Structure 1
Amino acid sequence: MRTVAGQACGTWHPMAVPARGSAAVPDAPGAVRGSSDPKRAGERIAVELRELASPLRFLEATLSSIPDFVYAFDRQKRFVYANEAMLALFGHPAGGLLGRNFAELGYPGELTDRLNAHIDRVFKDGVTIEDEVFYRSPTGYAAYFAFLWGPVRADDGSIPLVVGVSRNTTKKRAFVEALKQSEARLRAATELVGLGVYSWDPVTGALDWDERVRAMWGLAPDAPVDMEVYRAGIHPDDWNRVRDAIAACADPAGDGRYKIEYRVLGRDGVMRHIATAGRTTFEDDRAVNFIGAAIDVTAQRRSEAAIRASEAQFRSFAQHSSNLIWIGDSAGRSITYRSAAFERIWGSSFKSAPTTFAGWLQVVHPDDRKQVERALAAVQAGEVAQYNYRIVRPADGTIRWLRDTSFPIFDDAGEVSRIGGIAEDLTPEDPRQVYVVSTRATEARRLMTLVRASGYRAQVFESASAFLDVAAVLSPGCVLVDLRGSRLQGLAVPRELRARSIALPTIVLDGAAADVPSAVAAMKAGATDYLHVTDEESLRTMLANAMSECVGTTRPTTSDETAAARLARLTPRERQVLRHLVSGETNKMMGQQLGISPRTVELHRAQVMSRLNANNLADLLQIALGAGIAPLTKSSPRDGRPA
């Protein structure tokens, strides 16, 4: 309820008007003082009454034509006037409403007391009162009514009447409530997904940002914003794109849509990736308003970058691996990915490769197909399977032996959606393979040409780290390391190959300025041969002789070397579990010794079996003993410290 003290709604002027044909009343308007002619006096009064009746009829017609409810009360709180809309609300003629108060009209007691209190206050204080109530009329009309009541003052300042006007506000209340709910839903949605809402006035350039958009610019919630603040936050490399997008959305020739992603350098020093979209409103071919929403997608972009890096690492590994890595769709029974080793092992191009499991099985030796089918069925059921089989190469009919480790790939629901496998070619290889490691692209290409001219296969690596990442899975061959680009990187290759027990002999190529200590350092690092290049003419002959000797030393990896290489893949915890397994301890005993649960021991044990390619415990013991892992003794550490 709102009151305005002393504000008058209008002024009421009481007047006494004689009935038609009656004698003039001395104090009445229109009385003809000093006239002794009754006839003339009566005519004059009739004229004045007609003049007075015209505005009254106009007022009555006006009040009867408006949809609002107009009425008046006397000091007994009785209705003394009601327009047509008010009478229709109650379903009464004037006689049924006028002269009656709220209680007599059947108003609820609480509502009657509330309204009577308003009337008393207007009569007492002469104030104007505003309020809103819910009311159901005798005709069944139910609605919210907002009303304004005020005093009608006489010439002497007294208040004989209270006049009021009411209006049905049900639709307005419903609209306001719907707007509140809509705003609440919008607020909940923006909070749920982290949306920031903003607007821009294309005419004045004024900006209105919520707290989230300010936070994207590294600003305080109440910090002022303008186009300069906005422009200062956009990454310089992205500003031209943003500027063009703004110009396009403000162009009446377009559809007004705005959608872009850019980087923001916040005042807090944080760089964020912001995705935003909005639309411009046009009037008379002029941009007059723009509303948009923005979201911080920094975490998403970082995750995508990490996934891309992981995929690139996987592709690099798969590209250089001598083993075939494949992925298949479990439901469609189709092959969706093969690594580069497929062409070498199968002797066919990717274009002619079978795309279904059934087509793959046609290449498998007939005597091995049942075994492969059973293994694939087990993998589709969620198990890991390792199996050996032969393939008959379609191109030349030769037979190759493969060992495949296949495994299930689960989706978010825990179902097997895809299956993968790593196929190792067990067929003896021709060792005429040379891996060129050079940080200088021009020299790498020249060395590759010389290697191929000598009848060898060549594969180039641009850095020592790129080579060492995949060295463990490369086919037998020799490594040619060029120290002329980076000595530190180059010497890391033979040193790491020896440390990892990878049987790839290494030829080190050094420049003319190299000295004896350089050669000694290379040999100590593990190089098989050291070439001191003094002139380019002799390089071809020296390189051919060195590669011939290097290939001559190439031999199949012994079982002990293989075991040691596999063992190098284990984590410190997995090595501990392996030592306890060799000692014949159960999962429970190992858990007590290592301070972990039996379930965790079981997981480590499965990982050890997988990393060492062991089919059973007997295979595992053979690999471990071949690598020099001895059973624990009483003096061996058993408290979880690395052995």
Structure 2
Amino acid sequence: MTLDIPRSAAGLGDSEAAFAAIASAAVRQAPTFVGLCDAQLRLSFLNAAGRVMVGLSSGADITAYALLDFFAPQHRRVVAEIGLPTMLREGQWEGELCFRHFTDPSRQMEVRWSAFALRDETGDLIGAACFTNDISARKQAEQALRSQQMLLASVLNNLPLGIGVYDRHGDLIHSNQRMRDYTSLARLPSRDPVSSRRWRSYDADNQPIPPDRYPGARALRGEVVTPGVDFLYCEQGAAERWMRISAVPFRPEGEEPSGAIVVVQDVDDLKRAAERVELAGAELASQSRFFQATLSSIPDFVYAFDPQRRFVYANQAMLALFGLSMEEMLGRTFADLNYPRDLAERLEAHIDRVLSVGATVQDEVFYRSPTGYGAYFAFLWGPVYAEDGSIELVVGVSRDTTERRAMEEALKKNETRLRAATELVGLGIYSWNPVTGVLDWDDRLRAMWGLPSNVPVDTAVFEAGIHPDDLARVQDAIAACADPAGDGHYNIEYRVIGRDDGVTRHIATSGRATFEQGRAISFIGAAIDVSAHRRTEAAIQASEAQFRSFTEHSSNLIWIGDPVAGTIVYRSAAFERIWGLPCDNAPTALADWIEAVHPDDRQQVERALATVRAGEVAQYEYRIIRPGDGKIRWLRDTSFPIRDENGAVSRIGGIAEDLTPEDNHQVYLVSTKAAEARHLVGLVRSVGYRARSFESASAFLDIAPVLAPGCVLVDLRGAKLQGLSIPRELKARSSALPAILLDGPAADVASAVTAMKAGAIDYLTMTDDESLRGRIANAVAECHGAARPAARDESAASRVERLTPRERDVLLGLVEGGTNKTIGKKLGISPRTVELHRAQVMNRLNAGSLTELLQIALAAGIKPVTRVSTPLG
């Protein structure tokens, strides 16, 4: 079969995309019914072969059908009440049912239906896969075989002979009705002294034949006793009758004799009354016609050859094959019937072998008859003995095996396709006999263990390759799989260290055990090397960890949104500092987030976001009104599109920088004692500073990178070593947050020295509240002074450079002597908006008055536009 693999997938090597594309092509082009259902068991995919099977065109909408719609009405209840619940409970179900035909309601197809539940990594049902084979031909073949068996049983029961089959011990295992009518030979007379007294026969010397020479006993020793021996048989309470007994060894499929076939014929009339010879002859003729009619009605080909390889008999089926009458057929050889020379020589050699050694011959040949019918024929030929023991005929039976061979070829093709599919997806197939412990691996599985092809494997080789840390877990899974109390499933992933190459691989494997009489008797499974997948997962996890580490420690807000759902899907920790809200309390809808944007800036923000959704990068500035305290903060946001593998914008992201000058009146208090923390918060707030407490050093240090400027007051009384770690860590991070350490009243000079060496800018000891309040106020004031960056460029020009274009326009208007109204008219904005920009310019340039603002502007080189006077001016 040729797979139509996409050119893009074929170039990807061993990647998952290539395997997925190849597997998809194999499913689409599979010669059997392959269907996929969603979680509601409605069909979502049906391959071309499946559509042909049920009479659906290639353009038919399969999603309009549920899984039950494909079954014949009489089987839907079985599927609904047994099949589907079993599949959902055990993962799969299969059975032989009937499919309907969508375009021909009169047609139904007998199929072998297999369904598997599909679940995601969390175990939730996501759908089902269905695989179906049309078994109508096999069913018809089975029905024909049953009919033939019934015909043979009918023939045997109606033969005018008693026929019995005995095992090697002489016990009867089967007989026809005539045998039971003649005599109740439940055991051969040679093995039963009581019944042997009822039989008497004499040799040529008129001497009684002993039981060990009876035909049945001789047949058990491998002799052929034909045409038979005449016995006088005396049934209890009845007159003696002559019976002719024949026997042949029973050799099933050419094995050593394991029993005997005994034929009993009532010849009493022949032996007793000469006057009944004519009647007996008529009866024999009648029997011959009966056999002739029986053989003629058999659908197989029955025929016989004489020692000169000529046909001496052919039944009706054989005559029809050649298109000849009985008269035309008799006396002909294979050459006369225009058999191909090589085929004729092959068949004549078989006849010679039967005639020379009395062998039974079986073979299968292809032959095209003169009527034009070509087929494969399997035949069985054997000898027919004369009274003197010589072979006088070769009798044969042939059967048309074309359909069987076609089924075998189809099975081989399916096996080849399955092997090709396993090669495509990299599956290794193996089996295990829980009784003997024998393992059977293919070469792909050997390669996973770092073994050469065809190297012998056993349990020791298997366990030696498993990573030591995983071996106990694998052994437990195997024991559970082989436990009859379980479900027999085996599904596990573990590491393997290659024996010859030393490579560590991640192997995912699954399989199922088969149980019989309360114990596991077989197991078959498949394994796949998922090392590349695990490496990809590890790389993704490392990348995600790096991204989160970067975003959580960035002073800028990093956000990601879903433009289709209209939601914010991620915000970094800086959101809490800028918005004044915990991330958990932040709105998720983009519309709710825009509600916090200043009304005058919302239209600008919405236009910018629309540009980003269209695939462009946008940079814009806007104000927000903090929901918690109503304060205004200026932000500069750089937003950008995030595209999926198809190039479509699936996400939008942004980096928001807070441009608002910070208020340093903030104290962060770290204390492990809740009561002391509340007490110190009260003291800090009483001297005019804002306070925020943390219960541990780790809780503070985790969020320190995104905290607003301020200072840290660390209470050492609860956990001194933990508290000393804070200034050390802040110093190592080059953080601008200075630390003040507070210790108990009994602290000594050495403690103070340790605190200062750790990086504290001040060290206090506990006293009364009034004194402590003043000391904290002084220390915090000095702390804030120390926190002011000494190297900051405070020149007028550098400060003006930090203004936005709109703020520069407002500043220029002020330098030219404009009012809010005239500036707004010139710039096309409202006076209120000019007022807000003006206040922001004052904050950015750290100007306390309009005069100071103009001085800074002039120092930065901003001058009013010079107007040339005119005569009218």
Shorter-chain TM range is 0.5 to 0.7
Structure 2 counterpart of 1:264, one-letter code: V
Distance across 1 between alignment mates of 2:606 and 2:421: 51
Tell me which of 425, 436, 440 is aligned to 2:658.
425
Give matches, 1:137-286, under 5 Å: 137=369, 142-147=374-379, 164-267=396-499, 268-286=501-519
Q: CA deviation at 1:240?
A: 4.5
Residues 1:433 and 1:258: Cα distance change in structure 2 (over 3 Å): farther
Q: CA deviation at 1:299?
A: 2.3
Distance across 1 between alignment mates of 2:336 and 2:631: 111
Residues 1:258 and 1:494: Cα distance change in structure 2 (over 3 Å): same
Provide, for residues 12-46 of structure 1, a one-character-per-residue CA deviation record: whole Å limited to 9, x for no partner: x9xxxxxxxxxxxxxxxxxxxxxxxxxx9x99999
Report the equivalent of 1:71. Answer: 303
C-alpha contact (below 8 Å) 1:73/1:80 kept by paired residues = yes
C-alpha contact (below 8 Å) 1:196/1:293 kept by paired residues = yes
Distance across 1 between alignment mates of 2:585 and 2:610: 25
Residues 1:480 and 1:142: Cα distance change in structure 2 (over 3 Å): farther
User: Which stretches in structure 2 are left out of the alignment for 5+ residues?
Assistant: 1-222, 227-271, 686-690, 795-873
Report the equivalent of 1:339. Answer: 572
Provide, for residues 220-262 of structure 1, a one-character-per-residue CA deviation record: whole Å limited to 9, x for no partner: 3333333333344444444444344333333334332222223
C-alpha contact (below 8 Å) 1:451/1:458 kept by paired residues = no
Distance across 1 between alignment mates of 2:376 and 2:665: 95
Distance across 2 between alignment mates of 1:315 and 1:385: 24
What secondary structure sits across from 1:363 in the alignment?
coil
Q: CA deviation at 1:335?
A: 1.6
Provide, for residues 618-641 of structure 1, a one-character-per-residue CA deviation record: whole Å limited to 9, x for no partner: xxxxxxxxxxxxxxxxxxxxxxxx
Report the equivalent of 1:361. Answer: 594
Provide, for residues 57-90 of structure 1, a one-character-per-residue CA deviation record: whole Å limited to 9, x for no partner: 9997896686643434568865333245423544
Structure 1 counterpart of 2:453, one-letter code: P
What secondary structure sits across from 1:145 in the alignment?
strand
Provide, for residues 476-495 of structure 1, a one-character-per-residue CA deviation record: whole Å limited to 9, x for no partner: 4569999989x999989757
Residues 1:168 and 1:258: Cα distance change in structure 2 (over 3 Å): same
**Residue 299 (1) aligns with residue 508 (2):** no
Task: Give the TM-score taking structure 1 as reference length.
Answer: 0.61
- Percent identity, aligned pairs only? 61
Q: CA deviation at 1:331?
A: 1.7
**Residue 411 (1) aligns with residue 649 (2):** no
Provide, for residues 431-450 of structure 1, a one-character-per-residue CA deviation record: whole Å limited to 9, x for no partner: 4678999xxxx9999x9999
Structure 2 counterpart of 1:416, one-letter code: V
**Residue 117 (1) aligns with residue 350 (2):** no
What secondary structure sits across from 2:454 in the alignment?
coil
Distance across 1 between alignment mates of 2:738 and 2:303: 110
Provide, for residues 124-164 of structure 1, a one-character-per-residue CA deviation record: whole Å limited to 9, x for no partner: 88799876443455667543223467899999999997765
Structure 1 counterpart of 2:651, one-letter code: R
Q: CA deviation at 1:180?
A: 1.6
**Residue 80 (1) aligns with residue 308 (2):** no
Residues 1:136 and 1:120: Cα distance change in structure 2 (over 3 Å): closer
Residues 1:324 and 1:88: Cα distance change in structure 2 (over 3 Å): same
Number of aligned residue pairs: give it: 504
Higher relative contact order (CA 8 A, sep 6+): 1
Q: What RMSD in Å do the two structures reach over aligned CA positions?
A: 5.5
Distance across 1 between alignment mates of 2:748 and 2:457: 65
Provide, for residues 545-592 of structure 1, a one-character-per-residue CA deviation record: whole Å limited to 9, x for no partner: 87654431323697769xxxxxxxxxxxxxxxxxxxxxxxxxxxxxxx
Distance across 2 between alignment mates of 1:452 and 1:230: 66
Distance across 2 between alignment mates of 1:204 and 1:118: 44
Give matches, 1:350-499, under 5 Å: 350=583, 352-431=585-664, 475-476=708-709, 497=734
Structure 1 counterpart of 2:608, one-letter code: A
**Residue 134 (1) aligns with residue 362 (2):** no
C-alpha contact (below 8 Å) 2:738/2:787 kept by paired residues = yes
Structure 2 counterpart of 1:113, one-letter code: R
Instruction: Report the more deviating stretch, 390-399 or 314-323.
Output: 314-323
Distance across 1 between alignment mates of 2:757 and 2:584: 48
Residues 1:66 and 1:242: Cα distance change in structure 2 (over 3 Å): farther
Provide, for residues 371-402 of structure 1, a one-character-per-residue CA deviation record: whole Å limited to 9, x for no partner: 11111111111111111111122233221111
Tell me which of 563, 566, 569 is aligned to 1:330.
563
Residues 1:122 and 1:253: Cα distance change in structure 2 (over 3 Å): closer
Q: CA deviation at 1:505?
A: 6.5
Residues 1:120 and 1:263: Cα distance change in structure 2 (over 3 Å): closer
Distance across 2 between alignment mates of 1:157 and 1:555: 127
Structure 1 counterpart of 2:625, one-letter code: V
Distance across 1 between alignment mates of 2:508 and 2:609: 44
C-alpha contact (below 8 Å) 1:131/1:148 kept by paired residues = yes
Task: Give the TM-score taking structure 2 as reference length.
Answer: 0.47
Distance across 2 between alignment mates of 1:466 and 1:354: 23
C-alpha contact (below 8 Å) 1:391/1:400 kept by paired residues = yes
Residues 1:349 and 1:436: Cα distance change in structure 2 (over 3 Å): closer
Q: CA deviation at 1:512?
A: 11
Residues 1:194 and 1:388: Cα distance change in structure 2 (over 3 Å): same
What secondary structure sits across from 1:204 in the alignment?
coil
Distance across 2 between alignment mates of 1:232 and 1:319: 45
Residues 1:532 and 1:349: Cα distance change in structure 2 (over 3 Å): closer
Residues 1:74 and 1:317: Cα distance change in structure 2 (over 3 Å): same
Provide, for residues 390-419 of structure 1, a one-character-per-residue CA deviation record: whole Å limited to 9, x for no partner: 112223322111111111111111111111
Structure 2 counterpart of 1:200, one-letter code: W
